[in-house]
Amino acid sequence: MKNIFLVLKREYLVRVRKKSFIVMTFLTPVLIAAFYGIIVWAAVGSFKSEHKTIQVIDESGLFKDKFKSDKNTTFELISGPVAIAQKKLKGKEDNLLVHIPADIMEYPNSLQIYAEKNIGPMLKNRIEKVVQQGLRNIKLSKAGITQQVIEDANQDVDAQTYSLDDEGKSQSSSTMAAYVAGYAAAFLLYIFILVYGAGVMQGVMEEKSNRIIEVIISSVKPFHLMLGKILGVAAVGLTQFVLWGVLTFGVSSATQTLFGFNRFTATQEVMNKQAEQADPEVKKEMEKQQNNTLQTIENFSKSAQSLPIAKIFFCFLFYFLGGYLLYSSLYAAIGASVENQQEAGQFTFPIMLPIIAAIVFAQLAINQPDGSLAFWTSMIPFTSPVVMMARIPFGVPAWEIVLSMALLVLGFVGTTWIAARIYRIGILMYGKKVNYKELSKWLFYKG
Amino acid sequence: MSHILEAHDIVKQYATHRALDGVSLNVPKGCIFGLLGPNGAGKTSLIRIITQITAPDEGYVLFDDQRLHPNHIQDIGYLPEERGLYKKMKVGEQLLYLAQLKGLSEREAMDKLKVWVKKFDIKTWWTKSIEDLSKGMQQKVQFVATVMHEPKLIILDEPFSGFDPINANLIKDEILELRQRGTTIIFSTHRMESVEELCDHIALVNKSRIILNGSKKEIKNQFKENSYSVRYHGELGALSPDFELITSKDTSEGVQQATIRLVGDATINQLLGNLIKQVELVSFHENIPSFNDIFIKAVGSDTPDESK
C-alpha cells in the first residue's frame, strides 16, 4: 500500500512538473478565452468592413427600388450592356456587378453576379434574397394574394420545450443547452480517456525500454506498480481538469471586468449595429430576428441554469475515473507487452475502436437520448462513460445511472485483473514479438 | 556454517522451456558467492525467484531460515545485468525514491545517501538528470541504489560491465568492504578473473541444473589433475610408468619445460627424486586449474551429445 502511494507520488510529480503539462494547463484556458474574444471581435468588427459598390443592371425592370443601400453597401442602377459594365469592373476590387436578365421571372437561375474577387457568401445571400423575395411577391400577388397576407404569413416558429420532472411538474428545458452540455461532456471525456490512457502506456513502455523495470519490481509488486502509475496519471488528469475549470472561469471573468462587457450585451451591441445600418424595412426584419435571437439566448441561459450542474459534474468525475481506469489498465498491459511504438500500434487499435465507437454512439444518443441504442451503449462499460455523459443533461432515470455505474465498476475491475496478469509477464519479456495467442497464454501463467 | 539463503528443489517452468529443474543451493553468510553458468542456463530465472520478481513452480527458498516473504525485499539489493534508471529524473530524487521503495523513510534514506555521496564523490551530480551523466557515472548511481539500504544480501549481475579499470577497482573495493561488514554477495558474471579474485564459493548452473557447487578450494581440488610443471636444464629420459609426461618443450635460454602427471599413488617426492637423477631443476610447481578451465571443462563435459 505504501509503495502504491510512492509510485503514485512519483508519477504525479514527474508529470505535473513537465513543461508540456504546464503549458497545456495554462495555455488552454487562455486559448479558449482568446478564441471567444476573437469571435466577438470578429462579429463586432465585421460590420466595419470596407465599403462595397454594387452596380445593378436590371433588364427585367422589376427591382428598381428593391435594393436598399446602407452604410457599407451602395447599390447603383445602371443600364447595360453587360459587356461594357464588366470591363469597367476591372481594377475595382470593391465593386460588384449584378445582372438581372429580362426573363428572370421564367428563369430565376439566370441571375448573375460578377466581381474581381470572390463574392462573400453573406453578400451573395443578401442579393439572392432580394431577388427571390421580389419574385415570390410578384408571383403571389399575381395569384391574388394581398401584400397584407404575405406579411402575415412570414411567421417564425420556435417551440418551447418542457421536460416533466418526477413530480409531474413541467420544467422549462432547452434541448439546445442539454445538447451543448451533453456533447461537450462526452467529448471532453473521450479526449481525456484517450490522452491519459496513452500517457499510461507511454510511461510503462518507458520503464520497460529503460530497463529500470527490473530494479523497481524487485522492490514493488508489479500490480502495485501498475496501480500506482494508473492512479498517479489519473490524479494528473483531475488536476488538469480542475485547473482548467478554475482558470477558464478566472480568465473569462477577468476579461469581462477588464473590457466591461458581458456576452449578452456584446451580442446585443452587434445586433444594434446591424440594425442601425439598415433601412427601416430591413430594420424591422432585423429587430424581429434580434428579438428572436435574444429570446433564444435568454432561453438558453435560463435552461443552462436549469441543467443539473452538480449532477453533471459528479457524474463526469465518476465516469472519467471509471472509463479511464477501464481503458488505462488495458493500455498499461499493452505498454508492458511491446517494446516500441510501432509494435504498440497493432494492439492499441482494437482498444481505440470502442472509444471511437463511443463518441459516435454519443452523437446518436444526443439526438435520441432515450432510444434503445442510447440505453444499451450507456450500459456497456466500454462505451458507457462517453455515451452516458452525453445523455445525462437530458435527464436519465436514477436507476439507469446507478446500473451503468455498477457495470462500469465491474468492467474496470475485470479489465484491471486481466491487464495485471498480462502486465506482470510482459514487463520482463524482451526480444520476443507477442501476438494475441501469446497474450492469452499469459493470463494463465502462475505468479 | 549458517546460510543466508537456501534454495530447495526449485523448478520453474515456462511455456515450453524448463528454466530451472530441481535447483538446490546454499549460500553461506558473509561470503562472496559466484553464480556462474553459460548464457541461458537459468541464472537470471534463479535470481528473479530470490528477488521475488517471480515465484517458483515447485520448491521453496529460505532466507535467513525463514520462508521467502515480501518483507525480505528490503533485506535484498539487486543490480540487474540490464541497467536502467529513469532518464529524466534527477539523481538525488531518483535515489531517494528507490530507497523509499525499499522501505526506508525519506529521512533515513537521506542520511544513508549522504555517506555514499561523499564516498563516491557524486555531490555535484545530485541535481543533474540521469541522461546528462556518462555511462560510468550512471553505473555508479545504480550501484549506490543497490546497496544504500544496507541489505543483508546483495545480488550483483555483471557488476563491472561498463566501468573503466579505475572505477571497476573502486567497486571491487566496495564489494570487499561490504563482505567485511558481514554482507553476503551473490555475484553473477562471465569474467573468470574476477571470480578467481573475489569469490569464496561458486555454483555453476548449466542447462537448468546446478552441476558444480562448493567452496573455491573444494572445487579447485576436485578439478586438480595431479599435474606439475617442471623447468630444468639437461635432457629428460624415460620416466617410470608412475609418471606420465604430458607435454615438453624447449623454452628460451636452454631451459626446458615439461608437464608431468602423477599416476596412481605416486607422490611428489618420488617424482622429484626421479627428476633430480636426470636433470638440473630450475623450478617445480603444482598446476592448479583456473576457473576458466573448470568452467569450460565442466560445461563441456555436461553437454556431450546435444551439442552435435
Residue of chain B whose alpha carbon sits nearest to that of A6 = B101
Does a structural domain hold residue A137? yes
CB contact under 8 A, B101 and A220: yes
**Whether A91 and A197 share a structural domain:** no
First to last CA, chain B: 42
B80 touches A at CB < 8 Å: yes
Q: Three-state SS for A405?
A: helix
Does a structural domain hold residue A168? no
CATH of the domain at B7: 3.40.50.300
Cα of B255 to nearest chain A Cα, Å = 55
Read off the pLDDT of residues B118-165 as tens digits, 9 standing for 90 and up.
888 888 888 999 889 888 888 889 999 999 999 999 999 988 887 888
**Whether B146 and B189 share a structural domain:** yes
Does a structural domain hold residue B295? no
**Whether A136 and A265 share a structural domain:** no
**Whether A95 and A203 share a structural domain:** no
Does a structural domain hold residue B300? no
Read off the pLDDT of residues A123-179 as tens digits, 9 standing for 90 and up.
788 888 888 888 888 888 888 888 788 777 777 676 666 655 555 444 555 567 778
| ipTM summary value | 0.81
Residue B177 to residues A155, B32, B120, B147, Cα–Cα distance (Å): 96, 11, 14, 12
Does a structural domain hold residue B298? no
| Chain A positions with Cβ closer than 8 Å to B | 3, 6-7, 10, 14, 206-207, 210-221, 428, 441, 446-447
Average pLDDT score over chain A: 80
**Whether A186 and A60 share a structural domain:** no
Does a structural domain hold residue B299? no
CB contact under 8 A, A211 and B57: no
**Whether B69 and B176 share a structural domain:** yes
CA-based nearest residue to A393, from A169, A184, A189: A184
Query: Mean pLDDT lowest for which of A109-123, A149-163, A190-204, A318-332?
Result: A149-163
Average pLDDT score over chain B: 87
Does a structural domain hold residue A2? no
Environment class of residue B159 by beta-carbon count within 10 Å: exposed (0-12), middle (13-18) or buried (19+)?
Answer: buried
**Whether A135 and A177 share a structural domain:** no
Cα of B50 to nearest chain A Cα, Å = 9
CB contact under 8 A, A211 and B15: no
CB contact under 8 A, A447 and B51: no
A338 secondary structure, DSSP code: -
Number of domains in chain B: 2
Q: What percent of chain A has pLDDT over 90?
A: 21
Among B176, B202, B221, where does a domain finish? B221
**Whether B99 and B151 share a structural domain:** yes
CB contact under 8 A, B80 and A211: yes
Does a structural domain hold residue A344? yes
**Whether B14 and B157 share a structural domain:** yes
Residues of B in contact with A215 (CB under 8 A): 78, 80, 84-85, 98, 142, 145
Domain that holds residue A300: 173-442
CB contact under 8 A, A428 and B48: yes
B259 touches A at CB < 8 Å: no
Is-contact A183 A174, C-beta < 8 A?
Answer: no
CATH of the domain at B275: 3.30.70
pLDDT of residue A325: 92
CB contact under 8 A, A217 and B53: yes
**Whether A280 and A390 share a structural domain:** yes
- The 10 Å Cβ neighbour count of residue A230 is 29
Residues of B in contact with A446 (CB under 8 A): 55, 57
Read off the pLDDT of residues B55-88 as tens digits, 9 standing for 90 and up.
888 999 999 899 988 888 889 999 988 888 898 8
For B97, the closest of A10, A218, A428 (CB atoms) is A10
Among B176, B199, B221, where does a domain finish? B221
Three-state helix/strand/coil letters over A359-395? HHHHHHHHHCCCCHHHHHHCCCCCCHHHHHHHHHHHC
B221: Cα within 13 Å, side-chain hemisphere: 6
- The 10 Å Cβ neighbour count of residue A171 is 12
**Whether B239 and B137 share a structural domain:** no
**Whether A183 and A104 share a structural domain:** no
Q: Three-state SS for B2?
A: coil
**Whether B118 and B247 share a structural domain:** no
Does a structural domain hold residue B306? no
For B84, the closest of A10, A14, A212 (CB atoms) is A212
Residues of A in contact with B54 (CB under 8 A): 428, 447
- Which residue out of A218, A223, A423, A427 would a mutagenesis test of the B interface target, given it has the greatest number of B Cβ atoms within 10 Å? A218
Mean per-residue pLDDT, A83-102: 79
- Which residue out of B46, B54, B90 would a mutagenesis test of the A interface target, given it has the greatest number of A Cβ atoms within 10 Å? B54
Read off the pLDDT of residues A60-77 as tens digits, 9 standing for 90 and up.
877 777 787 777 778 888
Does a structural domain hold residue A178? yes
Instruction: Give the strand pairing for B184-188 and B209-215.
Output: unpaired
B110 touches A at CB < 8 Å: no
pLDDT of residue A294: 63
**Whether B92 and B153 share a structural domain:** yes
**Whether A106 and A250 share a structural domain:** no
Residues of B in contact with A207 (CB under 8 A): 86
Check whether A80 has a pLDDT greater than 50. yes
Residues of A in contact with B97 (CB under 8 A): 6, 10
For B82, the closest of A214, A219, A446 (CB atoms) is A214
**Whether B205 and B255 share a structural domain:** no
Residue of chain B whose alpha carbon sits nearest to that of A211 = B84
- Which residue out of A215, A223, A441 would a mutagenesis test of the B interface target, given it has the greatest number of B Cβ atoms within 10 Å? A215
Q: Three-state SS for B61?
A: strand
Which residue would you say has higher pLDDT here, A33 or B93?
B93
**Whether A430 and A392 share a structural domain:** yes
**Whether B105 and B244 share a structural domain:** no
**Whether B76 and B141 share a structural domain:** yes
CATH of the domain at A83: 3.40.190.10
CB contact under 8 A, B78 and A215: yes
Residue of chain B whose alpha carbon sits nearest to that of A5 = B101
**Whether A189 and A133 share a structural domain:** no
Does a structural domain hold residue A438? yes
Residue of chain A whose alpha carbon sits nearest to that of B84 = A212
Number of domains in chain A: 2
CB contact under 8 A, B70 and A14: no
Does a structural domain hold residue A127? yes
Cα of A267 to nearest chain B Cα, Å = 49
Does a structural domain hold residue A161? no
**Whether B186 and B215 share a structural domain:** yes
Q: Three-state SS for B89?
A: coil
Residues of A in contact with B63 (CB under 8 A): none
Does a structural domain hold residue B307? no
**Whether A131 and A257 share a structural domain:** no
**Whether A184 and A221 share a structural domain:** yes
CA distance B297 to B100: 45
- Which residue out of A18, A214, A423 would a mutagenesis test of the B interface target, given it has the greatest number of B Cβ atoms within 10 Å? A214
**Whether B54 and B100 share a structural domain:** yes
Does the pTM surpass 0.80? The reply is no
Domain that holds residue B35: 3-221
Does a structural domain hold residue B292? no
pLDDT of residue A115: 80
Read off the pLDDT of residues A284-323 as tens digits, 9 standing for 90 and up.
665 666 666 666 666 666 666 667 778 888 898 899 999 9
